Structure 1
Amino acid sequence: MDLRQRPRRLRRDGIRASVSETTLSASDFIAPVFLDATTDERVPIESMPGHERVPVAEAVDRVREVLETGVESVIIFGVPKSKDSTGSRAWADDGVIQRAVRDITRETDAFVITDVCMCEYTDHGHCGILEETAHESPTLTVANDATLDRLAQIAVSHADAGAQMVTLSSMTDGMVGAIRTSLDEHGYEDIPIMSTAAKYESAFYGPFREATEGDPAFSDRRHYQMNPANTREAMREVALDVEQGADVLMVKPALAYLDVIQAVRKEFDHPVAAYNVSGEYAMLCAADEKGWLDLDAVARESVLSIKRAGADLILTYFAEALAESLPKE
């Protein structure tokens, strides 16, 4: 046996870290923040240990907690004080997101990203305006084109409040183009769009829907979110968003779709983001509570795999804990 080539030589302490091909930094992470217009106190999210819904009055304090860990970017999700069929609180000037973003951008240096979607704001829990289809058995579906106008209105309201980036997650055809046009028309040419270009109809979203009270009241979202079986379709979706002006391309979820993240990274020269979603977080926390896994170790390893697959930005519920454990620059 020829043992002149011994890869183990470079696995020893002192050199192992120096030849590491992939590293994590606090600047890689986007930390989610949940704000709740219906409460005056912090409400723990049972299926997402360590995370809470925070009153709007405490939005600044919550973001400061994130910044203390070294994470610089936050994405804001909101639970409104009321819901209706059109999701009108999503673009209200005194809405939960609008109020919080004004406070956060005025009082902190955080980079503030907002989620342009409607499922948290509609009483039916779907990501858009409903219409009745004209079949023998009429049924309600999300009206794609009617929804575009509402999404554009939401994006502009977020920019008016001071959002520094908007992310689009409804998987509405043409959403990037409609929102880019509307932002530009209102003088927000410099606001970047992070499009959830490949968002799968996944079973891993459950805890997030609990956190935002966003479960569909009927049916599911398979008619507008992607089939988990498809990769080539994801590339078509991403290409369309690039053509329409997306600045950052997101794949959601992350761990079950590392192949898609890698494919997007290879095909497009845009920054690639990945959403390490709530179910991916919850299952590791549950295993840790059972004593089956070491949470710190598996959190780092799973997030490292997302970056290794090609993600430049990682939206993860582990952001704060991981950032605190990393060496300070």
Structure 2
Amino acid sequence: MLIRSRRLRTTTAMRDLVAETTVQARNLIQGHFVQPGKDSTEISSLPGISRNSVEATVRQVESDLKLGLRSHLFFGVPDPSDKAPDAHAAHDHEGIVPVTVRRLKKEFGSDVIVMTDVCLCAYTDTGHCGVNEGPVIVNDRSVEILARMAVAHAEAGADMVAPSDMMDGRIRAMREAMDAQGFTQTGILSYAIKHAGAYYGPFREAADSSPKFGDRRSYQMDPRNAREGLRDALLDLEEGADALMVKPAMPNLDLIWRLREKTLCPIAAYHVSSEFSSVKAGARMGWLDEANLFREHLLAIRRAGADWIVTYVAREALEKKWI
């Protein structure tokens, strides 16, 4: 008897029948950048993505809902005049993110899942993810500010806060601060494994968050290490995280898989700006098949074990039926 695996690949219907991995709207989280004022600003390095006003964001989310896209992650881009050494605008209850969250919840209620990025990089005058003393990014004082930021977002109605700063102990501090204010139902999606490196260039243009000195290697993880990331991810669960994120996604499929084997909680992966923009650039040059390559990216991330994928291509993939 000759075993022929090809028998199960003969037609599209047969391949669909035996497919082990799918990507659906419910697996995707669309990233948004929100800014003060009434205008929208195109982001040259993220084709098709803009910094939007609150009202433009509401209209975009309404359109996304019609595609079945219910989960959204919001990044604030404050007025440059609000950047400061103490990042005070990050926890302003009338800041751009809380205002956006309140507006979305008023308009859509529980029909949308509103997640908010919690980090200081867009709010410090240095572009770093924490406050500094000279060249040193100070952990504990940064954590205090981040906890206040999480409370401001929870008070506005965020379903989940998503700390991306990578300061030690911030999950426990946020959980305790939100619980103390009565926001026990607000979830935490921890950027649990987030590597320092070259994958975030377009994002830094989008969020106006490039470091003014040095780099982020003293607090973001070393991509040479795997056990370190797994250890810190499991610590985040102990501190109160409800779900864990791995970033960037494609270079870390091994860590998504290994983390999936170690925990039963939801796992997200961030298909980051360079992963998105490099495909867009290659497609513009005619070098690659954009639809199929994005599809393969998303399938690979899901196959590795991610339940959720944060990606800038979520909307387009659904609009154009790439998945």
**What TM-score, normalized to structure 2?**
0.96
Whole-angstrom CA distance in 2 between matches of 1:57 and 1:85: 29
Give every structure 1 segment of 4 or more consecutive aligned residues whose post-TM-superposition deviation is greater than 4 Å: 325-328
| Structure-2 residue corresponding to 1:52 | 50
SS in 2 for 1:287: helix
How many residues are paired up? 318
| CA contact 1:26–1:326 (8 Å) conserved in 2 | no
Q: Specify the alignment match of 1:78 in structure 2.
A: 76
Identify which of 37, 40, 44 aligns with 2:38.
40
Please state if 1:249 is matched with 2:244: yes
Structure 1 CA distance for aligned equivalents of residues 319 and 24 of structure 2? 10
Tell me if structure 2 keeps the 8 A contact 1:249–1:272: yes
Q: What letter matches 2:97 in structure 1? A: I
Q: Give 5+ residue unaligned stretches, structure 1.
A: 133-139
Q: 2:253, 2:301 within 8 Å by CA — same for their partners in 1?
A: yes
Deviation by residue 1:253-294 (Cα, 9 ceiling, x = unmatched):
001111111110011111110000001000000000000111
* Post-superposition offset of 1:324: 2.8
Q: Secondary structure, in 3 states, of the residue corresponding to 2:38? A: coil
Matches within 5 A, 1:166-315: 166-315=161-310
How many angstroms apart in 2 are the aligned matches of 1:294 and 1:70?
Answer: 25
Counterpart in 1 of 2:129?
127
Q: Deviations over 1:33-84 (max 9, x none)?
A: 11111x5321111001010111123221121122122111001111112211
Unaligned runs of 5+ in 2: none
5 Å-filtered alignment, 1:154-173, equals: 154-173=149-168
Following superposition, the deviation at residue 321 of structure 1 comes to 1.6
From 46, 50, 64, the counterpart of 1:66 = 64
SS at match of 1:266: helix
Q: Which residue of 1 aligns with 2:87?
A: 87
Match of 1:130, as an amino acid? N
| Separation (CA, whole Å) in 1 of partners of 2:262 and 2:49 | 35
Report the Cα distance in structure 2 between the residues aligned to 1:70 and 1:325, rounded to whole angstroms. Answer: 13
The residue aligned with 1:136 is none
1:54 maps to amino acid: N
- The aligned amino acid for 1:104 is L
Q: What letter matches 2:29 in structure 1?
A: I
- Is 1:318 aligned to 2:313, yes or no? yes
Distance 2:116 2:302 in 1: 22
- 2:89 corresponds to 1:104: no
Q: Are residues 1:116 and 2:86 paired?
A: no
Inter-partner Cα distance in structure 2 for 1:49 and 1:103: 26
C-alpha contact 1:54 1:62 (8 A) present in aligned 2: no
3-state SS of paired residue (1:16): helix
Secondary structure in 1 matching 2:14: coil
- Distance, in Å, in 1 between the alignment partners of 2:209 and 2:42 is 17
Q: 2: distance between equivalents of 1:67 and 1:77?
A: 19
1:262 is paired with a residue of what secondary structure? helix
Equivalent residue letter for 1:17: D
Q: Distance in 2 between matches of 1:9 and 1:175?
A: 52
Compute the TM-score of the two structures, normalised by the length of structure 1: 0.94
What's the Cα RMSD here?
A: 1.3
* Same amino acid, percent of matched pairs: 43
Q: Does the aligned pair in 1 maintain the 2:295–2:322 contact within 8 Å?
A: no
